[in-house]
Amino acid sequence: MIADMDSLKVGLVGLGNVGCGTLQILIENKEQLAHKLGIPVEVAMLCSRSVHSRKLPAGAESIAKTTDWRDVVSNPEVDVVAELVGGTGAASDVIEAALANGKAVVTANKELMAKRGVELWQKASEAGRPLAMEASVAGGIPIHTVLREGIVGDRIEAMAGILNGTCNFILTEMEKAGRGFDEVLAEAQKLGYAEADPSADVDGYDARSKLAILAALAFGCRVPVEDIYVEGIRRVSDVDFSYAAQLRHTIRLLCVARLSSEGLALSVRPTLLPKSAILASVSGSYNAIWVKGAYGSDSFYYGRGAGPLPTGVAVVSDIIHAGRELLSCRQNRVSPYSFRQLSAYRPAPPESFKQPYYLRFRVENRFGIIADLATILRDHGIGIDAVGQLPISNWRDLPFVITVEAATHGQVQGAVETMSRLEYLIEPPLVMPMLAEF
C-alpha cells in the first residue's frame, strides 16, 4: 500500500509511563529497529497535555510536539499512530480518527480493547489498515503474537493466567512474610505498586478485561466483559497461606478459560495451585500464561506484567508489525485476533464443570460444628476430602479448612449459602477452587 516508503513515521499520543518507555526504545534502539524492519523508524510527532513541560527521554528534543491529538492523527507525515492514552474516552476517538485518516494504529489499551476491540477491528478492516494491541495484556509477554501467529495452527482448549501484577505482588508478599492483606496493600500503595484506589486491581476487574481479550484471541469469540465471573483477593488472609502450605499449594489470582463441547467457562478468582505447577513459581509483579492446545499440548509464557519498558517493547514490536503490513500492499490484513471473524460467546453452563474446592471458615468454637458442616455438604451432594486445622490460638475466632472433592460452582454456592445462616460463623466461608490438571 505504501510499498515505496523510505521510513516508517510514528505519532505517539499519550506520554505517561508507557508512552515515555516507548519513546525511549524508539530513540535508543533506532539502529536495530531499522535493521529489523528494513527502513528507519522515526518518531514524527509527540502528543500529551503536558508535552511542553514534562521531562522526555534524551533525543526527543527535536521531535514535533502538540497538546492536541488531532494534530497527530491528521498529520500527513504519520504512518502509525500509537494510542497510549488509556481509558475508554478520548482514546476511542484517537483510534477511530486515526483509522479514518488512513493511519495504522497500535494500542496498549486493555480496557478499550476488551470493551470495543471487535468494533474497532471492524473499522480498521474497512479502512484497510492494521490495528495491533500486543501491549494491552501482559506487557512483557508476547502472548498476542503467540496466539495469533506462533501456535495459530493449534486448537486451544484451556488457558490459565496470572495477569495482574499488583495482586500477584500482594499475594507473594503475604505468603513470604506471613502478613495480612491490608498491611501489604498499604505498603504496595506506598511503594507505588498499587493505586490509591486499588479496586481495579484487587477486585479483579483489570484481570477480567485481560481475560476477555485473551479469550477473543484464543477462542475467537466476543466475550462481554461483564459476563465473566470475577472475585478479587480482599478476603484472602495470611491464615489461608498457612493452610495452603499444609496442602502443598499456593494462592494466586487466576484467570481461567476452559472450552468444552458445552461452551466456554471463564473466571477470575483466587485459586489454590499445587506448588509443583509451573504457574505456582510466578512471584512478585510477574505475569504468566499457561496454554493447553488440542495438539501442541501445554506451553507456558512468562515475563514482566507491566512497566514502561516491557510494555514499550510490546508497543514497538507492534509498530514494526504494522510497518511490515504497510510495506506490503496486503489486501487481507492480519486480524489482531487469531481468528478473522469472532463468533458469539457461548458460556458453558455452570453445572457442566466440576473442580475441587477449599473452604475456609472462621467460627466461635463449640461442639458439633464439623457435623453441621458435613451434613450441609452431604445434602448438597459434595464429598469431603480433608479437614485441616492449625494449632488453635483463639477459641472465639477459630479458623479451619475443609477441602472438598470436585463439585460444581452451583453446588458449592448452595452449600455456602446454607452455612452462612449458622450463627457461630464469624463471616461467610471463603471459597477458592483448587486447580487440578485441565
334 binds its own copies (CB under 8 A): yes
Query: What phi-psi label fits residue 87: left (phi over 0), alpha (psi between -120 and 50 degrees) or beta?
Result: left
Cβ of residue 415: shortest distance to its own copies, in angstroms?
Answer: 36
Give CA–CA dist 438/432, Å, rounded.
16
Give CA–CA dist 6/2, Å, rounded.
9
150 binds its own copies (CB under 8 A): yes
Cβ of residue 302: shortest distance to its own copies, in angstroms?
Answer: 4
What is the set of active-site residues? 210
21 binds its own copies (CB under 8 A): yes
Considering beta carbons, is residue 31 or 226 the nearer one to its own copies? 31
83 binds its own copies (CB under 8 A): no
Pairing relation of β-strands 354-363 and 398-408?
A: antiparallel
* Site for its own copies, residues 212 to 231, rule: CB under 8 A: 220
Please count the other Cβ atoms lying within 10 Å of the Cβ belonging to residue 180. Answer: 14
275 binds its own copies (CB under 8 A): no
Query: What phi-psi label fits residue 389: left (phi over 0), alpha (psi between -120 and 50 degrees) or beta?
Result: beta
Give CA–CA dist 358/178, Å, rounded.
19
Q: Out of 87, 153, 178, 224, name the contact with its own copies by CB under 8 A.
A: 153
6 binds its own copies (CB under 8 A): no
Stretch that binds its own copies, among 23-31, 42-50, 112-120, 375-383 (CB under 8 A): 23-31
Give CA–CA dist 181/431, Å, rounded.
17
Look at residues 141, 100, 143 and name the one whose alpha carbon lies nearest to residue 122.
100
240 binds its own copies (CB under 8 A): no
Cβ of residue 316: shortest distance to its own copies, in angstroms?
Answer: 3
172 binds its own copies (CB under 8 A): no
Compute the CA torsion angle 348, 353, 358, 364 (nearest 10 deg).
70
Identify whether the C-beta of residue 412 lies closer than 8 Å to the C-beta of residue 431.
yes
15 binds its own copies (CB under 8 A): no
42 binds its own copies (CB under 8 A): no
Q: Out of 320, 398, 402, 430, name the contact with its own copies by CB under 8 A.
A: 320
Stretch that binds its own copies, among 35-43, 59-67, 165-173, 409-417 (CB under 8 A): 35-43
387-420 as b/e: b if 16+ CB within 10 A: ebeeeeeeeeebbbbbbbebbbbebbebbbebbe
Alpha-carbon distances of 388 from 111, 183, 204, rounded to whole Å = 41, 26, 28
Cβ of residue 332: shortest distance to its own copies, in angstroms?
Answer: 4
351 binds its own copies (CB under 8 A): no
Considering beta carbons, is residue 49 or 176 the nearer one to its own copies? 176
Residue 13, SS3? strand
Considering beta carbons, is residue 424 or 438 the nearer one to its own copies? 438
Instruction: Tell me which residues touch its own copies (CB under 8 A).
Output: 3, 21, 24-25, 29, 32-33, 35-38, 134, 140-142, 144-146, 149-155, 220, 278, 281, 293-304, 307, 309-310, 312-321, 324-325, 327-332, 334, 338-341
